[in-house]
Amino acid sequence: MIADMQKVLEKAKKLKLLILDVDGVLTDGRLFFDNDGNEYKSFHARDGHGIKLLRQTGVEVAVISGRKSNSVALRMKALGIEHVYQGHENKIAAFNELIELIGISPEQAAHVGDDLLDLPIMVRVGLAIAVNDANFAVKQRADWCTTLPGGQGAVREVCDFIMQAQGRFDEVLNAYLK
């Protein structure tokens, strides 16, 4: 187990891009609709802050989602995430476009997923991450699993882990201790 964690840390050190799924990763996966068909999602504030901190260290963050939602567009805009791909059930085209656009290799990217739609990207990136409550097949193919479930701080856990692996967490922390 320790040897495996060392491999995960080595992969995390190389990352220049974190790709996130939305439903089940940035949210708890539940979908809320009112009587008029408007959709509502709940995002965790700590996840958002973790994304902002990670981006400050130079790691890009992107979203690739199978569903399309205005609330996702609004939240990602508020977080400053420029690379937002929604409505992509076949996520590979978006992934390939993103890798080329940023100018990195797939090994320099991580993906956080929770369900089978995420597997095509997870098997191509340098670091595949599953949230704690992910589908068993996704967890089996992940390099690392969070301790927290999707929508409940799992993304913050990932961001903190990457910053720690890259030796940047203390720098971020010290900014709050001054």
* C-alpha span between 39 and 33 (Å, rounded): 5
| Predicted pLDDT of residue 21 | 97
The CATH number given to 13-103+114-173 is 3.40.50.1000
| Predicted pLDDT of residue 3 | 55
What is the chain's pLDDT, residue by residue, as a tens digit (178 residues)?
445 999 999 999 999 999 999 999 999 999 888 999 888 899 999 999 999 999 999 999 999 998 999 999 999 999 999 999 999 888 999 999 999 999 999 999 999 999 999 999 999 999 999 999 999 999 999 999 999 999 999 999 999 999 999 999 999 999 999 8
| Predicted pLDDT of residue 1 | 41
**How many other C-beta atoms can be found within 10 angstroms of the C-beta atom of residue 174?**
9
Domain boundaries, the chain: 13-103+114-173
| Predicted pLDDT of residue 90 | 85
